[in-house]
């Protein structure tokens, strides 16, 4: 089954029929909110509002472990993150969509693993390619079928938040090779890897990062809100197509192995 993690507005998708909502208890505390079970153009999906349904949870306080564990407990196999970002690379202008293939983690103090190391051997999972290639390809196919221009690849720089970055910080991230900046990509991607979930992201650029483009002097919040509304309208079409592709793959005779990873 496909799960979609994103803003609360995604539960207002055209063609979405909400069947029920379910509160899930986890060994890691409370998820961001109840899981929304529904059908998107007759294909089953689960939605989770990462910041809560009132958008009240800042990125550094999201209980990423509880969110991912709750989805895995519902027999979810594939997870899509819809992530708003600031554009660093010249081609990541506001309104551009991308399917990143790498992450640099600048966050700190977050619970980053399910592992309990109390007297047990430490397990090191390969994270060379942090996103599931099967899911990335499926996302790009959905974008193509929806008629969207998108970037194949890119490095997501995950910062702590909730504050926005300084120009110097963005300059450093550009030197590091980051193409976009967001606040929620980690540890979400790694936790999905620990539970063998096939995880990928569609990044939505809603503004230029600090010091870039029209954010040279300051980042205008009203511009972000306007771009977010316009871009999410396009993303909703992509999600409906993605739900169909995931359902067809699961039902087909040569369905992809659940959780297949790789670059």
Of 58 and 255, the structure prediction assigns the larger pLDDT to 58
By the 8 A CB rule, do 232 and 7 touch? Answer: yes
Average pLDDT, the chain: 90
Please state which of the four CATH numbers 3.40.109.10, 3.30.1330.40, 3.40.50.1580, 3.30.930.10 is assigned to the domain occupying 2-251.
Answer: 3.40.50.1580
Q: Token pair of 117, please?
A: 């190391």
pLDDT-based confidence at 253, cuts 50/70/90?
low
pLDDT-based confidence at 120, cuts 50/70/90?
low
User: For the segment 192-205, what is each residue's pLDDT rounded down to a tens digit?
Assistant: 999 999 999 999 99
- DSSP-based three-state secondary structure for 21: strand
Q: Token pair of 152, please?
A: 């194949």
pLDDT-based confidence at 258, cuts 50/70/90?
very low
pLDDT confidence of residue 223: 77
- DSSP-based three-state secondary structure for 182: strand
CB atoms within 10 A of CB 161: 17
pLDDT confidence of residue 7: 74
Query: Average pLDDT for residues 162-176, to the nearest whole number?
Result: 96
Nearest CA among 209, 187, 262, 247 for reference residue 39: 247
Q: Helices 221-251 and 133-145: crossing angle, nearest 10°?
A: 110
Burial annotation 27-51 (CB, 10 A radius, 16+ → b, else e): ebeebbbbbbbbebbebebbbbbbb
Nearest CA among 101, 96, 65 for reference residue 177: 101
**Does the pLDDT at position 60 exceed 50?**
yes
pLDDT confidence of residue 149: 94
- DSSP-based three-state secondary structure for 79: strand
Query: Average pLDDT for residues 97-106, to the nearest whole number?
Result: 98
By the 8 A CB rule, do 122 and 176 touch? Answer: no
pLDDT-based confidence at 4, cuts 50/70/90?
very high
pLDDT-based confidence at 257, cuts 50/70/90?
very low
CA 214 to each of CA 83, 88, 211, 218: distance values in angstroms, whole numbers, following the listed order: 21, 12, 8, 8
Is residue 142 left, alpha or beta, with left meaning phi > 0 and alpha meaning psi from -120 to 50? Answer: alpha
**Does the pLDDT at position 246 exceed 80?**
yes
Candidate ranges 54-58, 113-117, 173-177; pick with highest mean pLDDT: 173-177
Of 189 and 116, the structure prediction assigns the larger pLDDT to 189
**Does the pLDDT at position 260 exceed 90?**
no
């Amino acid at each position: 089954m496909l799960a979609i993690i994103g803003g609360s507005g995604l539960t207002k998708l055209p063609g979405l029929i909400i069947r029920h909502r379910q509160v899930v208890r986890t060994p890691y505390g409370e998820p961001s909110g109840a899981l929304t079970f529904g059908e998107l153009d007759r294909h089953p999906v689960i939605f989770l509002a990462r910041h809560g349904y009132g958008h009240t949870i800042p990125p550094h306080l999201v209980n990423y472990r509880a969110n991912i564990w709750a989805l895995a407990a519902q027999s979810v196999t594939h997870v899509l993150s819809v992530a708003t970002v600031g554009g660093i690379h010249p081609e990541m202008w506001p309104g551009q969509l991308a399917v990143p293939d790498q992450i640099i983690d600048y966050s700190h103090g977050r619970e980053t693993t399910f592992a309990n190391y109390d007297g047990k051997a430490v397990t090191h999972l390969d994270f060379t390619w942090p996103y599931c290639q099967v899911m990335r390809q499926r996302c790009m196919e959905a974008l193509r079928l929806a008629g969207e221009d998108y970037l194949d690849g890119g490095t997501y720089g995950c910062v702590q938040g909730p504050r926005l970055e300084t120009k110097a910080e963005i300059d450093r991230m550009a030197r590091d090779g980051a193409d976009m900046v967001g606040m929620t990509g980690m540890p979400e991607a790694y936790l999905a890897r620990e539970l063998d979930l096939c995880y990928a992201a569609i990044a939505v650029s809603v503004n230029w990062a600090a010091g870039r483009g029209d954010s040279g002097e300051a980042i205008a919040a009203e511009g972000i809100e306007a771009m977010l509304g316009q871009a999410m309208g396009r993303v909703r079409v992509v999600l409906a197509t993605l739900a169909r592709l995931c359902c067809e793959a699961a039902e087909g005779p040569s369905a992809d192995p659940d959780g297949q990873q790789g670059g």
